[in-house]
C-alpha cells in the first residue's frame, strides 16, 4: 500500500495536526524542539516493524492533559492514516432481510440475503492508545474527504492491518572504529538481543558490513589462526595458504566496497582497504588528496556517518525494509552541505522501493525542485506542535521552521549563477508549482528539449522582483525572464520595470494574458490550467454542505476572482496559502491522469527558452 496522508492527535506535544499529505519522499522541516521526532514516533506506532516498540500512555499522552484524561485516554486515537491499495480491495457485504408473510398462503417466508460486492481503492486506519485499530474502506478518491461515505471494515480488519506497510525508524547509526577485535564481534553478534542499545547499533552496523562484502568474521578469524606448538612444514604451508586466501578475500571485498560506495558519495574518490592481523580486523581509507591509508575512525565524522548509513540501507533495503515506510530522524546532520545534497540524491534511490519520511532543519536537505514534498513543523506559543502543508504560513512561531525552505530556494538562486541554468522569476509559490509541473509534462515529449534547466523562483509578490533580479543577475549581467499576473499590480510592475531595469530588455517581461485568447481580465497563472481540475480541487479543499463552486466561462473575471467571490458569498475563510493548496491538489490529481499538452503551454515555454 501507499501512504497518502496522515493526522496525529493527542500525542506528546501534538494536540491535533492538520491532515498531512505524503509523497514517495516527504520532508518535515522545523527548528529544534519543534516536535518533528514526535510526528515520526506517532507514525511509527501505527505499525512498527520492531515488535519491541510499544504504545506507552505515560510517555506518549500529552502531559498537560494526562491527569484530566487518564480515565478515558486509552480509548482515544493518536494516529489516523489513509493508504491506497495497489489493486482495489474487494469485499462482499451481506444484508439479511426480514421474513415476510405470503399474502396467498398466509405463511411466513424467509427472504434471501442480499450480497453486494464493493471495491475499495483506499483504506483509513486509526490506532488507539489501547492498541486497538479501526479500519474504514473508501471506494474512490473523491470520497476521501467525505467520512459519511466511509464503510467500517470489521470482519477483515486483521487482514488489512497485516497488509499495511510497517514503519522503520532510524535516528542514529553507530560509527565503526578502525580496529575491530574479531572474538568480541562474534560474541556480540551471538548475543545481540541482550546487548545495550548503543552496543546493538554497533553490532548491527558490523553485521551489515560483513554481509555486504560477503565475509564471515568467524571465517576471517579461523583463516588467521596460527598454531602455538612447534610447526611442521605442512602446518606452516597450510597457515600461509590460509592467510593468502584471507588476504585475497579481503582485497576482493575492499574493491567491491570501493566501487559501490563511489556511486553514492561524491565528496571525494575514496578507496577502502580491509585487512586482518591475527584476531583484529581493520578498515583503512585513502583518497586522491590523502593517498596514505588512514584509519576510518580518524576520517571525518561525516564520512563515518555516511559509510554506516550507506551500509545499513543498501544492505537491508531488500530484506528488513520490504513493504516498509522508512522514517529518518535528522539524517546527515554532521555532513558538509554538499554531502547533504548527495544524501538527498541518495534518498531518491531509496524511495524507488520504499516511501521515505525524514526530518531536517538543513536547507541542503530541502529539495526546492519538489517543494510540495516539504511540510512545516513548528511549536506555537503554548509549546504545542503544529504540522502544516502551507509553506507560506504567516504565524510568527512558524518563521524559524520555514527558514530552511526559504534558504533552500535562495541557495537554488545562487546555484543558477554557477551552473548556468535559466531562472524565471514568478510572483508566488503556486506559480512555481504549476510551471514546474508543466515543464515536466513538456519534457516527456521527445520533440521538446531544454538546453538549459528552467528554474522558477517565487519572490512573494511584485514588490520583491527588483531586489531578487539584482541578486541573480550576477557577473554575466543577463537579466532573467519575469512572468507577471495580468492583474493591476502585475501590469503596473511591468510598466515600472520597462522604464528602468528592463528598458533594454522589455521582451523579457511577460504577462500571463499574452497566452490567453479569452475575454478574461486580469488573468493569473491558474487561467492557463485546466479549469475542471481546479474546480474539483477547490471543492475538495472547501468541502462543506453548501453548493459546489462552479466556473463561469462567460465571466470576464479570472478563476481566482470567481473563487474569492464564491468564498465570500458562502462565508468561507480563505487562509494564507490557500492558492498553494489548490496548486498542490491540482498537481497531485494531474500526476495520476494522462494529461493533454496545451498549445498555450508550449507557446509560453518557447518564449521562456528564446528570451
Q: Which helix (H) or strand (E) holds 92?
A: strand 77-95
Per-residue confidence (pLDDT) for residue 314, from 0 to 100 = 63
pLDDT in tens, 430-481: 999 988 888 888 877 766 677 777 888 888 888 888 877 766 665 456 788 8
Per-residue confidence (pLDDT) for residue 475, from 0 to 100 = 46
Whole-Å CA distances, 103 to 98, 107, 473: 15, 8, 90
CA distance 76 to 16: 12
Whole-Å CA distances, 492 to 471, 485, 542: 22, 10, 32
- Under DSSP, the state recorded for 49 is S
Per-residue pLDDT at 317 exceeds 60: no
- Under DSSP, the state recorded for 72 is T
Residue 525 exposed, middle or buried by CB count within 10 Å (0-12, 13-18, 19+) = buried
pLDDT in tens, 64-88: 888 888 888 889 999 999 999 999 9
Q: Which residue has the higher pLDDT, 457 or 104?
A: 457
Q: Which residue has the higher pLDDT, 328 or 593?
A: 328
Boundaries of every domain in the chain: 179-316, 420-611
* Averaged pLDDT score across all residues of the chain: 82
- Under DSSP, the state recorded for 514 is G
Per-residue confidence (pLDDT) for residue 596, from 0 to 100 = 64
Global pTM reads 0.61
pLDDT band, very low/low/confident/very high, at 130 (cuts 50, 70, 90) = very high
Residue 335 exposed, middle or buried by CB count within 10 Å (0-12, 13-18, 19+) = buried
Q: Map residue 359 onto helix, strand or coil.
A: strand
Amino acid at each position: 500500500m501507499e501512504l497518502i496522508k496522515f493526522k496525529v492527535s493527542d500525542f506528546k506535544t501534538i494536540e491535533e495536526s492538520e491532515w498531512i499529505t505524503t509523497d514517495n519522499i516527504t520532508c518535515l522541516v522545523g527548528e529544534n524542539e519543534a516536535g518533528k521526532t514526535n510526528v515520526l514516533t506517532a507514525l511509527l506506532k501505527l505499525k512498527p516493524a520492531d515488535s519491541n516498540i510499544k504504545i506507552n500512555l505515560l510517555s506518549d499522552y500529552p502531559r498537560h492533559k494526562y491527569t484530566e484524561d487518564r480515565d478515558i485516554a486509552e480509548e482515544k486515537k493518536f494516529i489516523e492514516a489513509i493508504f491506497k491499495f495497489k489493486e482495489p480491495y474487494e469485499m462482499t457485504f451481506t444484508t439479511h432481510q426480514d421474513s415476510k408473510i405470503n399474502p396467498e398462503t398466509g405463511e411466513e417466508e424467509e427472504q434471501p440475503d442480499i450480497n453486494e460486492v464493493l471495491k475499495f481503492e483506499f483504506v483509513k486506519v486509526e490506532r488507539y492508545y489501547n492498541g486497538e485499530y479501526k479500519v474504514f474502506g473508501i471506494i474512490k478518491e473523491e470520497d476521501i474527504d467525505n467520512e459519511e461515505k466511509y464503510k467500517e471494515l470489521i470482519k477483515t480488519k486483521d487482514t488489512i492491518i497485516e497488509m499495511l506497510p510497517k514503519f522503520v525508524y532510524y535516528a542514529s547509526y553507530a560509527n565503526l572504529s578502525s580496529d575491530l577485535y574479531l572474538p568480541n564481534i562474534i560474541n556480540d553478534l551471538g548475543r545481540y538481543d541482550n546487548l545495550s542499545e548503543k552496543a546493538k547499533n554497533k553490532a548491527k552496523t558490523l553485521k551489515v558490513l560483513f554481509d555486504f562484502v560477503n565475509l564471515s568474521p568467524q571465517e576471517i578469524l579461523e583463516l588467521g589462526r596460527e598454531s602455538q606448538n612447534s610447526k611442521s612444514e605442512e602446518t606452516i604451508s597450510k597457515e600461509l595458504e590460509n592467510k593468502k586466501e584471507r588476504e585475497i578475500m579481503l582485497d576482493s571485498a575492499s574493491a567491491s566496497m570501493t566501487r559501490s560506495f563511489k556511486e553514492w558519495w561524491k565528496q571525494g574518490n575514496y578507496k577502502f582497504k580491509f585487512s586482518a592481523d591475527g584476531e583484529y580486523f581493520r578498515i583503512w581509507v585513502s583518497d586522491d588528496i590523502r593517498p596514505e591509508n588512514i584509519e576510518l575512525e580518524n576520517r571525518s565524522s561525516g564520512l563515518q556517518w555516511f559509510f554506516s548509513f550507506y551500509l545499513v540501507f543498501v544492505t537491508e533495503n531488500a530484506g528488513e525494509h520490504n513493504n516498509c515506510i522508512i522514517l529518518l530522524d535528522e539524517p546527515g546532520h554532521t555532513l558538509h552541505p554538499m554531502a547533504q545534497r548527495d544524501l538527498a540524491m541518495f534518498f531518491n534511490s531509496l524511495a524507488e522501493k520504499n516511501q521515505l519520511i525524514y526530518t531536517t532543519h538543513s536547507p541542503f536537505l530541502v529539495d526546492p525542485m519538489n517543494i510540495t514534498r516539504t511540510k512545516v513543523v513548528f511549536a506555537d506559543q503554548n509549546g504545542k506542535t503544529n504540522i502544516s502543508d502551507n509553506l507560506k504560513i504567516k504565524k510568527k512561531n512558524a518563521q524559524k521552521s520555514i527558514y530552511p525552505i526559504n534558504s533552500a530556494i535562495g541557495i537554488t538562486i545562487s546555484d543558477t549563477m554557477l551552473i548556468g541554468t535559466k531562472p524565471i522569476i514568478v510572483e508566488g509559490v503556486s506559480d512555481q508549482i504549476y510551471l514546474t509541473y508543466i515543464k515536466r509534462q513538456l519534457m516527456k515529449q521527445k520533440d521538446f528539449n531544454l538546453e538549459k534547466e528552467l528554474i522558477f523562483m517565487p519572490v512573494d509578490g511584485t514588490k520583491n522582483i527588483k531586489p531578487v533580479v539584482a541578486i541573480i543577475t550576477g557577473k554575466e549581467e543577463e537579466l532573467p525572464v519575469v512572468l507577471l499576473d495580468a492583474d493591476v499590480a502585475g501590469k503596473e510592475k511591468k510598466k515600472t520595470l520597462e522604464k528602468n531595469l528592463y528598458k533594454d530588455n522589455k521582451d523579457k517581461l511577460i504577462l500571463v494574458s499574452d497566452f490567453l485568447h479569452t475575454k478574461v481580465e486580469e488573468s493569473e497563472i491558474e487561467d492557463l490550467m485546466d479549469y475542471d481540475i481546479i474546480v474539483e480541487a477547490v471543492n475538495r479543499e472547501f468541502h462543506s454542505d453548501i453548493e459546489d463552486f462552479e466556473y463561469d466561462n462567460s465571466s470576464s473575471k479570472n478563476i481566482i476572482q470567481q473563487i474569492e467571490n464564491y468564498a465570500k458569498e458562502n462565508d468561507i475563510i480563505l487562509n494564507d496559502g490557500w492558492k498553494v493548496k489548490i496548486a498542490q491538489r491540482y498537481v497531485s490529481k494531474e500526476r495520476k491522469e494522462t494529461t493533454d499538452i496545451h498549445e498555450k503551454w508550449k507557446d509560453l515555454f518557447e518564449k521562456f527558452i528564446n528570451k
